[in-house]
Amino acid sequence: MAIPPLSIEFYLGTAIVLYVIGFYCFVSKRNMIKLIIGLEILIDGAHLNFIAFSAYANGGLIDPLVHAIVITSIVIGGCIAAIAMALILSAYRQYKTINIRELRRLKE
């Protein structure tokens, strides 16, 4: 028995949940590591939307170009996250905190 494909509403709903979680991290968290994780969650929601719309536009077939673009975006996002973590580690070693409010207070 074959499993029927999920509708685009399921994928869009999941992407909306990812957007809400990522946006919540940006609004409520002051820890820089949690902000990077929230950014990665937002990017994953965009990836899911991109692939879902590609499948919907082509009648269930997914364009390989979309997969290549999403995989490239994942790799670039991982590199950006690694650089951000290195900067966070450097800030922690110098100021002994990763709280954004405390770092802004040190700037003044």
Q: What is the mean pLDDT of residues 41-64?
A: 85
Residue-level pLDDT at 2: 46
Q: Is residue 2 part of a domain?
A: no
pLDDT tens sequence across 6-21: 788 888 999 999 999 9
- C-alpha span between 30 and 104 (Å, rounded): 11
Q: Is residue 70 part of a domain?
A: yes
**CA torsion, ordered 70, 76, 78, 83, to nearest 10 deg:** -160
Q: Is residue 54 part of a domain?
A: yes
Q: Which residue has the tokens 């946006």?
A: 23
Residue-level pLDDT at 107: 66
- pTM for the whole structure: 0.82
Residue-level pLDDT at 41: 94
Domain total of the chain: 1
Q: Is residue 76 part of a domain?
A: yes
**CA torsion, ordered 86, 88, 89, 90, to nearest 10 deg:** 90
How many C-beta atoms lie closer than 10 Å to residue 94's C-beta?
A: 10
Q: Is residue 3 part of a domain?
A: no
Residue 31 is classified by DSSP as B
Residue 4, pLDDT > 80, answer no
Q: Is residue 95 part of a domain?
A: yes
**SS3 at position 99:** strand
> 28, 16 in Cβ contact below 8 A?
no
Q: Is residue 1 part of a domain?
A: no
Question: In this structure, what CATH number is given to the domain that contains residue 46?
Answer: 1.10.287.3510
Domain span at residue 99 reads: 8-107
